[in-house]
Amino acid sequence: MHKATASVVLALVLALSTRVFAQDGPPAPPTVAATGYLLIDMDSDMVLAAKDAEQRLEPASLTKIMTAYVVFHELHNGSVKLTDQVLVSEKAWKTPGSRMFIEVNKRVSVEDLLKGMVIQSGNDASVALAEHVAGSEEAFANLMNDHAHRLGMDNTHFVNATGLPDPEHYTTPHDIVRVTEATIRDFPELYKLYAVKEFTFNDIRQHNRNNLLWRDDSVDGVKTGHTEAAGFCLVASAKRDSMRLVSVVMGTESEKARINESQSLLNYGFRFFETHRLYGANDRLTRTRVWMGENEEVSLGLARDLHVTIPRRQYDKLNARTEIQPLIEAPLNKGQKVGEVIVELDGNEVMRRPLVALEDVPEGGLWRKAVDTVLMMLE
């Protein structure tokens, strides 16, 4: 699910979660004491539990998921290297809040700064990285917003790299899931930093604040956050067998609460749901007639893998069908939408995805067009 369609599909699935799953499926989600929360399967993007997932909330240090994502992106592009030595500015050194304890006018590698930000939640490290990547924290915030827009985080705006409070600094549980999923998907090797339990810098050892890493072996991230206004927040991701879930809880009352509420959401998802890969990207699902083209038919399939998350032991009630546009004319480009794949559970629609052409079909010659014009008149 991407960009403009994300909110529509989220609303659809939330409706279906009460209408479809309640018939023969799992119990209602656990009661979660948080201002807003969301539980989602990463492969299918199906929502399993939610409350006020589109509400704008203060993210606190959940902000650093995007800060890290931007740095990961620059590392991937080669404009920044892990071995780069960053000169610590006075601004970075003086940044209030959680710290990795870098020192002004000393040089620290990008790799150590990333560890200090991801593992120790260092605000000083976040500012130092922002200044190294973009020249200033303000310019870096513009990069953060550019990536947020590209990822479809439509209710998010960043003004800093740390999550320190600002009226114009906000996000939603749904939007935080977007950048979390993008991190796991786009930068799997760098994402492993989120599973590291402790880091020692300047002879000071600090533990990862995500205590779920100790409680649940399936958890491999992601990030905590806290300010007085935001409450205690946590984004968690866990993988059991081939199923990965991402949970977000924002605005709980304590460190213990954010851990317990996250654990209850993850346990609920893994206990009562299962995810299936129905079709692969570019698999040929069917063929259809093309008029006015060099070829009379075109293969149709999906642009990306199709996964569906359903209540456990309901797989035999799944059905998939295609709806194809009644008249398809050349030229036809690979990837062009010509219909939809609709997935139903026990007769109720749970998902639909674009059905696309798997190859180009150029326009045919004059003879082909003349013949097809006559045949179309006879249809």
**pLDDT tens sequence for the chain (379 residues):** 443 333 333 444 444 443 344 456 789 999 999 999 999 999 999 999 999 999 999 999 999 999 999 999 999 999 999 999 999 999 999 999 999 999 999 999 999 999 999 999 999 999 999 999 999 999 999 999 999 999 999 999 999 999 999 999 999 999 999 999 999 999 999 999 999 999 999 999 999 999 999 999 999 999 999 999 999 999 999 999 999 999 999 999 999 999 999 999 999 999 999 999 999 999 999 999 998 989 999 999 999 999 999 999 999 999 999 999 999 999 999 999 999 999 999 999 999 999 999 999 998 888 887 776 888 788 7
Domain boundaries, the chain: 5-273, 280-378
Query: What is the four-CA torsion angle of 334, 338, 344, 349, rounded to 10 degrees?
Result: 120
In CATH, what class is 5-273? alpha beta
Contact 173, 36 (CB under 8 A): yes
Q: How far is CA 17 from CA 22, 45, 47, 312, in A?
A: 7, 13, 8, 14
- Calpha distance 294→36 (Å, rounded): 54
Catalytic residue among 64, 89, 115, 299: 64
Q: Specify whether the CB–CB gap between 247 and 173 falls below 8 A.
A: no
pLDDT at 8: 36
Task: State the pLDDT at residue 46.
Answer: 96
User: Which string of b and e fits 357-373 if b means at least 16 CB within 10 Å?
Assistant: bbebbeebeeebbeebe
Q: What is the pLDDT of residue 13?
A: 41
Q: Which of 203, 225, 305, 172 is nearest to 64 (CA)?
A: 225
Q: Are 18 and 51 in contact (CB under 8 A)?
A: no
Nearest one of 335, 339, 331 to 359, comparing CA atoms: 335
Q: 121, 126, 237, 247: which one is catalytic?
A: 121
61, 237, 264, 299: which is the annotated catalytic residue? Answer: 61
> Would residue 247 show up in a list of annotated catalytic residues for this protein?
no
Count other Cβ atoms within 10 Å, centred on residue 217.
10
- Classify domain 280-378 at the CATH topology level: Peptidoglycan synthesis regulatory factor (PBP3), Domain 2 (2.60.410)
Rounded to whole angstroms, how far apart are CA atoms 108 and 114? 10
User: Could you tell me the pTM of the whole model?
Assistant: 0.89
C-beta separation of 238 from 218 below 8 A:
yes
